[in-house]
Chains A and B, each alone.
Chain A
Amino acid sequence: MAIFFQTIVAGLLKGGLYALIGIGMTLIMGVMGIINLAHGQMMMLAMYITFILNQVGLDPYLSLFVAMPSLFIIGVLIQKYFLNPLIKVETILPQNMVLMTVGIGMAMTEIVRFVFKSDYKYVKTSYSSSTFFLGGISFNVPLVIAFFIAVLFTIIMFWFLNRTDLGRSIRATAQDKDAATLMGVNTGRITVITMGLGAALVAAAGTLLAPVYYIFPDIGSPFTTKAFIITILGGLGSTVGAIFGGVTLGMAESLGATYLGMQYEDIVGLVIFIMVLLFLPGGFKRLTKV
């Protein structure tokens, strides 16, 4: 039974971070209607920023204040100069924006590979492997901190989307772009800001993961996969759904890893993904209507 609870706790902690990754993705998906297949790569960039700052001696949690703004700017630039011009381009394939994000992701990975080589890097902290016990279940300190910061960011995002003008404009654009334009929302600017926000959120996830993960250029693509699984699980453009999706994926992965074997960790998420696509198209959003 202890193993079961340990698994649940591990899944929950991981799920908190996944939720953070998923919220960024779902925002982008809701507003732009595209899948950002460079999402994990953005996270990888944030991890490397954390790594560099750590070499200088900055604590990973303080580097949140550097990584998030930098990724915000990168997201804004990508949207402004690479994705928005595509709206005017006439093409046969409607998915050319998605292909563009793939190209951007590839370029990011390779540029990082040039600068840092393919070696595994890690962020050294005094607490990286420290744990505490609560009722016989061990908690990894950095993961617990990461979980609570993730929850904090999620709450802030909620407040932002529901209570501020800008947040309401973002939601309006996600619901109906043309109507939002008619109501005087500058939708072009909103898409740029949304991309920046999505990038900043995933940057937070990357920085929070840095103390517990190895950092290498190819770490992006598995997380891109996780991000779109979470988004489909939760339902497009649904913040609540992304949280549910993130926690579900985290739980499913750690249950799969414990009871089926480590090598099944990734496949569990993918099978759930296909199941949701088939039997619950629209994801958890359909059940909760949020």
Chain B
Amino acid sequence: MLKKLPIAEMIALAVFMAIPFFMKDNYFLHLLILFLMWVVIGSSWNIFAGYTGQVSFGHAAFFGAGAYAAGLLAHHFGYSAWWGMALGGPAAVLIGLPFGIICFPLRGAYFTLASLALNLILMHVATIAENFTGGMQGIMIMPAFVSKIPYYYIALAMVVAILAVINLVVRSKFGYYFVSIREDQDAAESLGINSTLYKNISLGISVFFTGMAGSLYMNYMGFIDPSVVFSLSDYSIMAILVAIVGGVGTVYGPTVGAFIMVAVNEFFRSGFFGLLGFIGKRTGSPLVSKALDFVTHAHVLVFGILVIVVILYLPKGVVGDWEKIKRKVLRVRPTE
């Protein structure tokens, strides 16, 4: 089926497999796990929005559903939250598919708003149903591993799975159906494509992996509450950012986007990787500590500005507009 072996991908995978052997630093591994988690979420948002054209502002709903599936299983039945890893995806699909069946007659902006509403509704429900979900107090479990390496490999496996699925889907007839729905739904339907069915398939794939990422988050962090996992700005919007910064409708766009977003986030949160704190300690200047305070809280502002800049100047994202970046920024002449 594959025309040629995916050499570059295999080398990248080998590098990522090898990282924990020579990189034992927990902080660095934590960042890598976050990066891999965002690759999963961004890619799954991308398959639904970038390929099928259904912009969802509510992917946190599915992320949270996965996280709560794992958390509730541990909380109520005492099963290890690892079983939730198997349950997280199906639980998200269980919420996603009825939502899809009900809301797919809506188009464009209306669908976007409906997904936003779904997100908010689930957040309120998780807050109100205190007896079942623990309400605002959230759910706390003991993480199964102290070391971060198992989480790293699980996250890596999920990334491999979703990238493989996307590669397969995009090259199969499903991918073409998805793109045709994105480009012109009426034309696609007139050619006999059942748009509701294929949108649901796309949604199903998308929310399955988002739910898995959610249950991984539950296992890894050991604590969730409604305002964390159903957060609009931290997950729904962030998923969109990851995809659009990297490149909507490209296979590896969200991967690049996830790398950029996690790096930018950490760059600012840590005060330019601890540089400002270091200078502040050395010089003892109050100005630097003020700047540090400013910078550590600046990451959301930077995200906002990043959205504005990317949409204005790189509408196809870093991957989609790579040629443009090469030409304009790196001054490379296009090879004819």
Which positions in A face B, CB cutoff 8 Å?
A: 33-35, 82, 85-86, 89-96, 98-100, 102-111, 113-114, 221, 225, 228-229, 232, 263-264, 266-267, 270-271, 273-274, 277-278, 281
Can you list 8 A-B pairs, Cβ within 8 angstroms, ordered by A? A82-B308, A92-B249, A96-B244, A102-B307, A106-B300, A110-B300, A225-B120, A270-B120
Within the complex, what minimum Cβ distance (angstroms) separates B89 from chain A? 24
Bound Cα distance from A89 to B308, whole angstroms:
13
Cβ contacts under 8 Å, B311 to chain A? 86, 89, 91, 96, 99-100, 103
Given contacts A89-B312, A93-B248, A266-B120, contact A106 B301 (CB under 8 A): yes
B187 touches A (CB below 8 Å): no
Given contacts A94-B108, A267-B124, A270-B124, contact A107 B308 (CB under 8 A): yes
A277 touches B301 (CB 8 A): no
B297 touches A (CB below 8 Å): yes
Bound Cα distance from A114 to B124, whole angstroms:
29
B304 touches A107 (CB 8 A): yes
B50 touches A (CB below 8 Å): yes
Cβ contacts under 8 Å, B300 to chain A? 106, 109-110
Cβ contacts under 8 Å, B301 to chain A? 106-107, 110-111, 114
Q: Which of B25-33, B110-118, B281-289 lies at the binding interface?
A: B110-118
A103 touches B304 (CB 8 A): yes
B244 touches A99 (CB 8 A): yes
Cβ contacts under 8 Å, A225 to chain B? 116, 120
Within the complex, what minimum Cβ distance (angstroms) separates B237 from chain A? 6
- Among A96, A106, A232, residue most surrounded by chain B Cβ atoms (within 10 Å): A106
Chain B: CB-nearest residue to A118: B297
Interface SS of B by simple majority: helix
Cβ contacts under 8 Å, A108 to chain B? 304
Contact residues of B between 30 and 84, Cβ < 8 Å to A: 49-50, 53, 55
Within the complex, what minimum Cβ distance (angstroms) separates A286 from chain B? 14
Bound Cα distance from A108 to B304, whole angstroms:
9
B244 touches A95 (CB 8 A): no
B316 touches A (CB below 8 Å): yes
Cβ contacts under 8 Å, A110 to chain B? 297-298, 300-301, 304
Given contacts A92-B316, A111-B301, A263-B128, contact A277 B240 (CB under 8 A): no
Cβ contacts under 8 Å, A34 to chain B? 109
B103 touches A (CB below 8 Å): yes
B303 touches A (CB below 8 Å): yes
A221 touches B232 (CB 8 A): yes
Cβ contacts under 8 Å, B240 to chain A? 99, 102
Given contacts A270-B120, A277-B103, contact A91 B315 (CB under 8 A): yes
Cβ contacts under 8 Å, B121 to chain A? 267, 270-271, 274
Chain B: CB-nearest residue to A33: B109
Within the complex, what minimum Cβ distance (angstroms) separates A238 from chain B? 15
Within the complex, what minimum Cβ distance (angstroms) separates B181 from chain A? 13
B132 touches A (CB below 8 Å): no
B124 touches A95 (CB 8 A): no
Given contacts A92-B249, A93-B248, A232-B113, contact A277 B312 (CB under 8 A): no
Within the complex, what minimum Cβ distance (angstroms) separates B108 from chain A? 7
6 nearest CB pairs, A to B: A103-B307, A106-B304, A107-B304, A110-B301, A91-B315, A267-B124
Within the complex, what minimum Cβ distance (angstroms) separates B271 from chain A? 15
Bound Cα distance from A111 to B302, whole angstroms:
10
Given contacts A99-B244, A274-B117, contact A106 B128 (CB under 8 A): no
Within the complex, what minimum Cβ distance (angstroms) separates A79 from chain B? 14
Within the complex, what minimum Cβ distance (angstroms) separates A256 from chain B? 11
Within the complex, what minimum Cβ distance (angstroms) separates A164 from chain B? 29
Within the complex, what minimum Cβ distance (angstroms) separates B78 from chain A? 29
Interface residues as binary, B255-299 with A (CB distance below 8 Å gives 1, 0 otherwise): 000000000000000000000000000000000000000100110
Chain B: CB-nearest residue to A85: B312
Cβ contacts under 8 Å, B232 to chain A? 221
Given contacts A35-B112, A92-B316, A93-B49, contact A270 B307 (CB under 8 A): no
A273 touches B112 (CB 8 A): no
Cβ contacts under 8 Å, B102 to chain A? 278
Contact of A91 (CB < 8 Å), options: B103, B306, B316: B316
